[in-house]
Structure 1
Amino acid sequence: MFTLAAAAALGSATAAGGAGGEADDKAPTELALVKLEPMAVPIVDGDHVQGELRVHLYLSAKDPASAGEMGPQMPRLRAATFATMMDFARLYASPFQAVNSDQLAKKLTAALRKENPAIHEVLITAVAAKPV
């Protein structure tokens, strides 16, 4: 599970570039995080709700200007996040085992980049699968 400090450190390390001083073309030049409200989706097995997948996350934008422009796009970004989480919960989540947060972050990043290419990556700060 990431903490906000770990997410900030990850973003700072990404922004610093490679060891040779060359910046990655896809890496943000400055840390620009946009917080999404916490989300929860049911974990369903067949016709039975087994639990709930809860996630707290931030979007790392490619630059501060892009982060500032995400406000009006929030309904679309939240809808894409919800749909991706529902799919992940159906296929990979269980209230009886740890959630693969790396796999979830990759799936969320791919889905949200389709909605807004200025999103560099999704940073998960907390994730839990709880039984009902």
Structure 2
Amino acid sequence: MFKSISAAAATLAISVACLVLLPAGQRVEAQSAGMFVNAVDLDIVPAERDAFLAAIKENGAASVKEPGCKRFDIINLNSDPNHVFLYEVYDNEAALKAHRETDHFKKYAATTAKMVAKREARQMTVIASNAK
């Protein structure tokens, strides 16, 4: 009985030591299980739709090449061709912040600033991802 208690205590001590000894950034990742989602609803000025779509496609293609970006979907609402939904998945919030500092994002933001009539962004954490 004392051997199993000692083994459990040793395992716990080693686990805590490993967690404490990790650099701060790795410690946060080790504790957080979900990916970080940026979900954005955009209403596009109708006359700017084609130019906006070209700019967001370019930004999305460049975004998925970033180390922390896992997914960048550009979705159009069937009932409203001027409503676009962005579904962006990152390793963590820091990866989203790094994305916003890239040259391609800054170019997209400057190019489309007057093309967007309304923008609503929501940040989320993935609890479970079910895909085929």
TM-score, shorter chain, exceeding 0.5: no
Structure with a larger share of its residues in helix: 2
When Rg is computed on C-alpha atoms for both structures, the one with the higher figure is 2
Instruction: Give the TM-score taking structure 2 as reference length.
Output: 0.33
Instruction: Give the TM-score taking structure 1 as reference length.
Output: 0.33
